[in-house]
Amino acid sequence: MLLYFIVPFKGKNLVLLAASLLFYFYGEPIYTLLMLATIVSSYIHGLLIDRFRGTFWSVFFLWTSVITSIGALGFFKYSDFFIRNVNSLFKTDFELLELALPIGISFYTFQTLSYTIDVYRGEAKVQKSLIRLATYVALFPQLIAGPIVRYTTVEEELSHRTHSFENFGYGVTRFVIGLSKKVLIADTLGALAQTVHGMEEATVAAAWIYAVAASLQLYFDFSGYSDMAIGLGRIFGFHFLENFNYPFISKSIAEFWRRWHMSLGTWFRDYVYIPLGGNRVSKGRWLFNTLVVWFLTGFWHGADWTFILWGMFFAAFLMLEKFALNRFFAKLPRVFSHIYVVFAILISFVIFSANGLTGAISDLGAMFGAGGIAFWSSETAYYLGSYALVLLVGIVGATPLVKNAVLKVKETKTGAVVCDILEPVFVIVMLMIVTAYFVDGSFSPFLYFRF
């Protein structure tokens, strides 16, 4: 960071690129070559698409860029999934490749695809500097777990960006808030989820506590990482788009997906759903488009049938909303649509977090008392009481209540002064608490690293 701010602007991208490559190399030495190959491929394809614009060859090079990128992602992420299913279906015995999943490949593949596709569409200028394009792809704040930063979002800032104390201060604050969400809330909720899920005497109440804890853990873990990425990006003068907007307050599943993992949702909308025809097609075609997008959304998350089932779960609800549920809930108070959405989300993330389809069936069965399991037990009461505070913090923190309260206080002159004084104190205290947790705790990777 010191070196970055010392060198002239012409050298800043080079410092960021070098730091990003070292950062990635520290965790994935051999796969750094894969990422570099992806960058060079996208760079060359971008130049060729632009060079032959308006001809058959421009389309040809667009498709070779897509096939190359998707091919690498498919080979490293999904090879064993297909081999297992072929072996199961045809009773064959093909050996698994057992490849380690390159960190961040799902994210940087989609970023390079957005670049070449936008160059082809004329929505982005071809990047003639390999250093700038490599900096965009390898930029360490969001490299390994998102958000998916579109090339057009940072196109101008790769060449011209502003550095200021205001940006730096905002970036540090946002980073610490994200880190605190991950370490203090997500990890604690994860411990609760793991504990109640592994109870010897399963209960219906424990299954629902697990559903709530696992869902909130995923939200605070991933949104915390996104906050950290946005904060680090701002320190270096980049304005990444928001990735979460309080999704648990949604009144429909469609609204939930406009608020949850927004960078992924808009990516599939712009590069898959709309090119397929979107919703300006016949009813049958719209159903097909929806199924394709949500199959791919689920499959993008992981090489397991649980993720495909998770995607299809949302596709089913989006169809039901379009044809029936929206009209039904429009006649009722809004609280009912909110309850319906929260219920559906909890079910979905139990499927998402399950250990295979068998695990998903078992977890969902426990939530509805399958096998005659008890509703309550003293052990359930003990863990609920022990974690009640963090559950309350998680539930309140998943709504804009705290943010709105702070903004309300800032509307007054005295309140604004008090907030200006307390904010840096709050950031320092939170950083100290998080550091204490790190010293006392164990390794806890971000959940989205595995995607």
Interior/surface letters 317-351, b for 16+ CB within 10 angstroms, e for the rest: bbbebbeebeeebeeeeeeebbebbbebbbbbbbb
Type of residue at 355? N
- Please tell me the distance from the alpha carbon of residue 136 to that of residue 151, in angstroms, as a whole number: 7
> Given 160, 261, 301, 338, which residue is catalytic?
301
- Please tell me the distance from the alpha carbon of residue 319 to that of residue 332, in angstroms, as a whole number: 20
One DSSP character per residue, 279-317 reads: TSS-HHHHHHHHHHHHHHHHHHH-SSHHHHHHHHHHHHH
Query: What is the Cα Rg of the chain in Å?
Result: 23
- Please tell me the distance from the alpha carbon of residue 253 to that of residue 348, in angstroms, as a whole number: 11
- Please tell me the distance from the alpha carbon of residue 122 to that of residue 105, in angstroms, as a whole number: 26
- Please tell me the distance from the alpha carbon of residue 357 to that of residue 360, in angstroms, as a whole number: 5
In degrees, rounded to 5, the angle at the alpha carbon of residue 372 between the alpha carbons of residues 208 and 342 is 20
Query: Quick one: 223 exposed, middle or buried, by C-beta within 10 A (0-12, 13-18, 19+)?
Result: buried
CA distances from 151 to 24, 120, 139, 173 (A): 20, 13, 12, 25
Residue 261 is a catalytic residue: no
The structure tokens 């949500």 sit at 294
Q: How many CB atoms lie within 10 A of CB 200?
A: 6
Q: Which residues contact 34 (CB under 8 A, 6 or more apart)?
A: 72, 76, 102, 105
In degrees, rounded to 5, the angle at the alpha carbon of residue 333 between the alpha carbons of residues 328 and 337 is 60
- Please tell me the distance from the alpha carbon of residue 276 to that of residue 232, in angstroms, as a whole number: 36
> Cβ(178)–Cβ(224) under 8 Å?
yes
Q: How many CB atoms lie within 10 A of CB 58?
A: 16
Can you read off the two tokens belonging to residue 329? Answer: 């809930």
Single out the residue of 236, 237, 349 nearest to residue 301, CA to CA.
349
- List active site positions: 301
